Amino acid sequence: MHELPITQNILQIALRHAGDAKRITRINLVIGDLSAVIGDSVQFYWDIISKGTIAEGATLHFERIRACFHCNDCENAFEPDGRKFECPQCGSDQVNLVSGREFQLESIEVE
Amino acid sequence: MAKKVTVVEEILSENDRAALTNRAQLNDAGLFGLNLMASPGAGKTSVIMATIQALGDKLRIGYIDGDLASSIDVDKVAELGVPAVQINTGGLCHLDAFMMQGALPQLSLSELDLLVVENVGNLVCPSGFRLGIHRNVLIASVPEGDDKPYKYPAMYLGVDVMLLNKMDVIEAFDFDMEYFKRGVEILNPGLAFFPVSCKTGEGLDNWLAWVRSEVAAFKEGIVAVYEPR
Ligand SMILES: Nc1nc2c(ncn2[C@@H]2O[C@H](COP(=O)(O)OP(=O)(O)O)[C@@H](O)[C@H]2O)c(=O)[nH]1
Ligand SMILES: [Mg+2]
Ligand SMILES: [Zn+2]
């Protein structure tokens, strides 16, 4: 489990971008499925560590991005089934992972 | 009135910055480093001990061990006469660049040629946290099964070299080498790959030759471009 340090990072970044805002009301996160972060525990730690800051009570919004491959032979886009990576449409192994590793704080909403 | 502020920042950007500082510190000291990641029991300590036994008279090696609590590994490695530092992660499932920052000053960096870091045994979390170490090494092992690239792709994506340890028991485990390699190749095309056994010594020569050539290339300044992520 490493959600505590991650939650601390989220708070630091948000505060750094808040300027002279009075309150941070929402934090928009983009999290790929391969990054193994559990939203519920981030929320749990968030409620504790944001106390007393201008981000206290802010909504954490997780946009989850699925792990997705692109097939270079037939242009198919697909999610792997956990047993193979080859393209389910044409069987090609000329495929690239195009999403799933995202781990960003995209924006904050302030007032 | 609510207002949206665009941020678009990596959540681990603080860690990545600290990793760059670590990298600069190692470069200044002329010290090349390996970060070994694997599941618990895959053979990290065994590979490190075999490496020290084979190369200890040619390279000055230092060891940093990230462990949840015990100091068993650090004691074993210290017995080989190598400077060994323990990072107690206090329950955390991976090393990060800040823990490395705390550990580096405990070694005489400029008096070493090769730094070996044993990360916490875990196939998920360490892959996200760069340490600033030059090369990320994955030690897979036969008993874990041939489907691990498909189940833990993130770990296979971010490494520079991979060992498959415990080749001595491959017959007992129905390990489909082609299936395993296909998954790895799609995730990380051209990844340097060494099947080894720490028990019989099989294949270790290839790994040791790779380590020596990487250290030599680093010393000659050939390994110029380092991507910490
Ligand atoms: N059969 C076999 N056992 C091994 C091999 N390498 C390590 N082991 C055993 O696997 C166990 C875990 O090894 P260790 O190096 O402590 O793994 P770590 O937790 O990744 O550091 C020990 O009992 C080792 O003796 C190998 O190549 N073959
Ligand atoms: Mg160990
Ligand atoms: Zn296809």
Q: What pLDDT sits at residue B228?
A: 47
**DSSP reduced 3-state for B185:** helix
Across A1-5, A51-55, B82-86, B202-206, least confident range: A1-5
Could you read off the pLDDT of B60-95 as tens digits, one per residue? 999 999 987 778 999 999 999 999 999 988 778 899
**pLDDT tens, position by position, A91-110:** 999 999 999 999 999 999 99
B190 in A contact zone (CB under 8 Å): no
pLDDT band at B229, cuts 50/70/90?
very low
Structure tokens at A69: 């491959």
Contact A109 B3 (CB under 8 A): yes
B180: left (phi over 0), alpha (psi -120 to 50) or beta: alpha
- DSSP letters, B83-149, are -EEEEE-TT-SS--HHHHHHHGGGS-GGG-SEEEEE--S-SSGGGG---S-SEEEEEEEGGG-TTHH
Nearest CA in chain A to B4: A109
Q: What are the pLDDT digits (tens) for A65-91?
A: 999 999 999 999 999 998 999 999 999
From CA B82, how far away is CA B79, in angstroms rounded?
7
Residues of chain A whose beta carbon is less than 8 angstroms from a beta carbon of chain B are 1-2, 5-6, 9-10, 12-14, 17-19, 21, 25-26, 29, 34-36, 67, 80, 82-86, 93, 95, 97, 100-101, 103-111
CATH assignment at residue A56: 3.30.2320.80
Percent of residues, chain A, with pLDDT higher than 70: 99
**Residue B79 Cα to ligand 2 middle (Å):** 15
- Tens digits of per-residue pLDDT, B89-117? 877 889 999 999 999 999 999 999 999 99
Residues in chain A within 8 Å Cβ distance of B147: 83
List the domain range (segments joined by +) for residue A27: 3-110
The C-alpha of B2 sits at a distance from chain A's nearest C-alpha, in angstroms, of 5
If we measure between CA atoms, which residue out of B146, B144, B152, B217 comes closest to residue B188?
Answer: B152
Mean pLDDT, range B151-176, rounded to an integer: 95
Give the number of domains in chain A.
1
B58 reaches A (C-beta below 8 A): no
Indicate the pTM of the whole model: 0.92
Q: Does domain B2-219 have CATH number 3.40.50.1370?
A: no
Annotated domain spans of chain B? 2-219
Q: Is the CB of B116 under 6 A from ligand 1?
A: no
pLDDT in tens, B16-48: 999 999 999 999 999 999 999 999 999 999 999
